[in-house]
Amino acid sequence: MSTITVQNELNVYESAEARFEMAARKLGLEDGLYKYLKYPSKEITLYIPAALDNGKLEVFKGYRVLHSTIRGPGKGGIRFSPDVTLEEVRALAAWMTWKCAVVNIPFGGAKGGVICDPAEHSHAVIERITRRYTAELSEWLGPERDVPAPDMGTNEQTMAWVMDTYSMHVRQATTAVVTGKPLDLGGSLGRREATGRGLLMVTNRALAKLGRRPESTRVVIQGFGNVGMFAAKLMHEAGYKIVGLADISGALYNEKGLDIPAAIRWVHGDKKPLSDFSGGARMSAHGVIFQPCDVLVPAATENQITSDNAQDVQASILIEGANGPTTAPADAILDEKGVFVIPDILGNAGGVTVSYFEWVQDRQGFFWRESEVNERLQDVMDRSFDDVVRYAESHKVNNRIAAYMVAIDRVARALKLRGIYA
Cβ neighbors of 113 (< 8 A, separation 6 or more) are 62, 63, 78, 79, 80, 81, 84, 88, 89, 151
What distance in Å separates the CA atoms of residue 318 and residue 285, rounded to the nearest whole number? 17
User: H helices within 154-291, ranges in order?
Assistant: 156-170, 194-210, 226-237, 260-264
Question: What is the spatial distance between Cα 269 and Cα 415, in angstroms, rounded to a whole number?
Answer: 48
The single residue of 75, 111, 233, 241 carrying the catalytic annotation is 111
- Concerning whether 75 is annotated as a catalytic residue, the answer is no
What is the spatial distance between Cα 3 and Cα 143, in angstroms, rounded to a whole number?
40
The residues near 410 (Cβ < 8 Å, ≥ 6 apart) are: 71, 101, 104
Total residues belonging to the chain = 422
Q: Are strands 109-115 and 57-68 parallel, antiparallel or unpaired?
A: antiparallel
User: Pick from 89, 116, 178: which is nearest to 141 by CA?
Assistant: 178
Write the DSSP symbol of residue 284: -
Residues annotated as catalytic are 111
